[in-house]
Chains A and B, each alone.
Chain A
Amino acid sequence: MSSENALVRFVDIQKSYDGEALVVKNLNLDVAKGEFLTMLGPSGSGKTTCLMMLAGFEPATHGEIFLNEHPINRVPPHKRGIGMVFQNYALFPHMTVAENLAFPLEVRHMDKSEREQRVKRALDMVQLGKFGDPRPAQLSGGQAQRVAVARSLVFDPDLVLMDEPLGALDKNLREQMQYEIKHIHENLGLTVVYVTHDQSEALTMSNRIAVFDDGIIQQCDPPPVLYEEPNNAFVAGFIGENNRFVGKVTEDSGDTVKVEIEAGAVVVAKKVNVEGVGSRSTLSLRPERVTVDPEAGSLPNIFSGKAEELIYLGDHIRTRFTVLGHDDFIVKIPNSAAHARLKEGDTVNIGWNAEDCRALDPSD
């Protein structure tokens, strides 16, 4: 991402509320025009704080935020022109839906006919054309959510921030709304900074995901990259399912490393984020990248495993093995004609490629 077409730039941002602990530690992040960027991370990792700094409700303790190349640290929230959807929607309870939507236009001194036209357009956009009259309290969760989205867009901001906007909705509605928000994003060419701690939501909606932990962006990449090429043990563990081994690096051959898990058991893995011979490393391996009963010699890593538990899930069979002393090794066996038939208690060989097994930092 070149910084020329960046709409938002966080430069060396640090934030502390109490002067003792840093909630955000040295954040550098560019958000391109038209991008859908998601901040994903566990609770308390500083996502909302970043959003609040961008919206202008929290001052950055250090560093500068640029919007359209202009530093905005000293610009008050009402002059930033950034749309925002709050987690609890923050629809004004004493105004009707239409009045809520008209509010940002009114404070911009837009004349009445134009106001009405825009409110109507915004309501139509979220398929609530006939819902101008009720008050927010009379709306269902999904409807309130749509109104909140419409209100954040009605004054045509370039940038919209959303802080866990779907957190309060049930699963079905959430999926439907993800789809709708995504469409609005594409149709209007908006730039969206989205906060969630639901990884599947992040994966489906985003152009890029910034994974937060402990006030630091652990990795910021498009969803496929994030899933397939995690840079560190936290990201690998946070996004999707993965099998882990911890061991010591015994040999470093540039692209790959050999890691000794237990006496005599050495795994060949792709070198991603390890120090070198003698250091400890976490190996991460996706369950769908494991082959059951491979031909001998076809894979660099072949070990014998005992099937402990099989769960039939239709398209695949989720199988738990004991391998190399770990009894929580998960393999997704595709339900294809060729797949191995297993019973609980069977002992078979399982193997995987060095490419698919990433040697990462020793984290926990």
Chain B
Amino acid sequence: MSTAPATVDGPLLTADGVPLKESLQISLRRSKMRALLLVLPPLLFLIFLFVIPIGNMLTRSVDDNLINDVLPNTFAAFETWDKKSEPTEAMFEAFYKDLRDADRTDIGKASVRMNYANPGWRSLIKRTARKIDKMEPPYKEAFLKADDRWLDQDFWRSLGIMKDRVTFGYYLNAVDLDYDYDKNIIQQDEERKVYNLLWWRTIKVSIIVTIACLLLAYPVSYLLATLPMRIANLLMICVLMPFWTSLLVRIVAWMIMLQQNGVVNDTLVAAGVLSDENRLSMMYNFNGTIIVMTQILLPFMILPIYSVMKTIPPSYMKAAQNLGATPTLAFIRVYMPQTIPGIGAGCILVFIVAIGYYITPELVGGKDGRLIGNMVAYHMQRSLNWGLAAAMGTILLCVILVFYWVYDKIIGIDNMKMG
């Protein structure tokens, strides 16, 4: 603690006559600069690898700028329409101007976007755009000549969904909802509802995998932490082996093991446990996803639990028994509570990795083992609906944050109660 300086008239000066404050500032500035230089690399790292991509994803999930940039006149004309009567000449003229002035590729992209609002837009615009150079007023007739679907009011009314530059349509789609043409939120058509099922399945799989990992990892970690060094090291190598083996190799190995004519089924049938018709189906379905993901994520559970257990001195268990607790009771009352931070860290880690997993479900999940991650990948790579993929990614992120918050709450409460 510094003591308050005695009040002095005029500024304090250093030995060479510079005001004290100024020279202090100069010396501080230097150390501040140095500190800044030190934090700069991690800061840049964070910005480029985290803030920018995630910000980009968040923007994409609500971004409807492109269409508004490509069709400015159309949307202006759309606003004047009463949405009941036939589309007016002014609207067609506006559409003509937009198509004529816009860049080809932009029109392509815009038509893809419009297709999400009303399937058919893309082919409609493609056909019309091809003839745009030869069109003459009145444009309504010219458009109708190009394609008579232009009279269909649904197309025009669907513009209402896209007229704002910010849209939540992707989020609605991601949870099986949709906008009607007046931007009311409605249920998605029954046959197009797929995502809610996938969300629940994803969360269910993640929770089951987390619990399975915990049940398997806890005893292994305990052994690792308590066995003599030499044996423990050997066991550790076995635990880490998966990290050193390619993911695909491991998945293929599981396929060989678990499929209908795989090693496990063959052995069970040969041993007479199963009859030939009742072979277990453990691959290309929900079970396959669970089994393989559990194996792959196991190390993420073992390592944090092990590292916490390693720090618990054996004298606690001895003390508890010395005080009269049976070994089991000592374990439950004294040992286990001290491993909770490790359990929490392991669970949250496994859960977070599991909830976004897609390679394993893709390969071994079959139809009912697919997860939301597979949908994100599909929309990123196949359908190119990046807005929807981004919305799903953002929801995933939020789910993880919610679970993290819950974890923090629980562990926090535990901390207050148990150390």
Contacts and interface: CB of A to CB of B under 8 A. Distances in A.
B319 A84 contact: yes
Nearest to B315: A90
Interface stretch (A101-109, A125-133, A330-338): A101-109
The 8 closest A-B pairs by CB, nearest first: A94-B419, A104-B323, A90-B319, A94-B418, A90-B315, A77-B321, A107-B325, A94-B337
B321 to A, nearest CB: 4
Interface string B308-327: 00000101101111111111
Contacts of A155: 323-324
22 contacts: A56-B322, A57-B318, A76-B326, A76-B327, A77-B321, A78-B321, A78-B327, A78-B330, A82-B322, A83-B322, A87-B315, A88-B313, A90-B313, A92-B316, A93-B419, A94-B338, A94-B418, A95-B419, A103-B320, A103-B323, A107-B324, A155-B324
B256 interface: no
A276 interface: no
A56 B318 CA distance: 9
Contacts of A107: 323-326, 329, 333
Interface in B321-358: 321-327, 329-330, 333-334, 337-338
A174 interface: no
A238 interface: no
Contacts of A93: 338, 419
A182 interface: no
Given A93-B338, A137-B419, A151-B323, 20 more contacts: A56-B322, A78-B321, A78-B323, A78-B324, A78-B325, A84-B319, A86-B318, A90-B316, A92-B316, A92-B319, A94-B338, A94-B418, A95-B418, A103-B320, A103-B325, A104-B323, A104-B324, A107-B323, A107-B325, A155-B324
Contacts of A90: 313, 315-316, 318-319
B33 to A, nearest CB: 39
Contact of B334 (A77, A87, A92, A135): A92
A359 to B, nearest CB: 44
Interface in A54-112: 55-57, 76-78, 80-84, 86-88, 90, 92-95, 103-104, 107-108
Interface of B: 313, 315-316, 318-327, 329-330, 333-334, 337-338, 418-419
Nearest to A86: B315
Q: Which of B318, B326, B329 has the largest count of A CB atoms less than 10 A from its CB?
A: B318
A251 B24 CA distance: 85
Given A92-B334, A93-B338, A95-B418, A108 B324 contact: yes
A145 to B, nearest CB: 14
A55 B322 contact: yes
A335 to B, nearest CB: 47
Nearest to B319: A90
Contacts of B319: 84, 86, 90, 92
Nearest to B337: A94
Nearest to A161: B322
Contacts of A103: 320, 323, 325, 333
A137 B327 CA distance: 25
A151 B313 CA distance: 18
B80 to A, nearest CB: 71
A41 B414 CA distance: 44
A295 to B, nearest CB: 60
A254 B333 CA distance: 65
A82 B319 CA distance: 11
Nearest to B340: A94
A95 to B, nearest CB: 7
Contacts of B327: 76, 78
Contact of A78 (B315, B326, B333): B326
A155 B327 CA distance: 18
A84 B317 CA distance: 13
A315 B326 CA distance: 56
B272 to A, nearest CB: 43
Contacts of A56: 321-322
Nearest to B417: A94
A76 B334 CA distance: 18
Contact of B419 (A78, A82, A135): A135
A78 B333 CA distance: 14
Q: Which of B319, B320, B338 has the largest count of A CB atoms less than 10 A from its CB?
A: B319
Nearest to A101: B323
Nearest to B325: A107
A81 B323 CA distance: 7
A94 B336 CA distance: 10
B358 to A, nearest CB: 39
Nearest to A135: B419
Contacts of B316: 90, 92
A92 B313 CA distance: 11
Contacts of A80: 322
Given A90-B313, A95-B419, A77 B322 contact: yes
A86 B316 CA distance: 9
A197 to B, nearest CB: 19
Contacts of B330: 78
A77 B315 CA distance: 13
Contacts of B318: 55, 57, 77, 86, 90
A107 B327 CA distance: 12
Contacts of A86: 315, 318-319
Contacts of A135: 419
Contacts of A108: 324
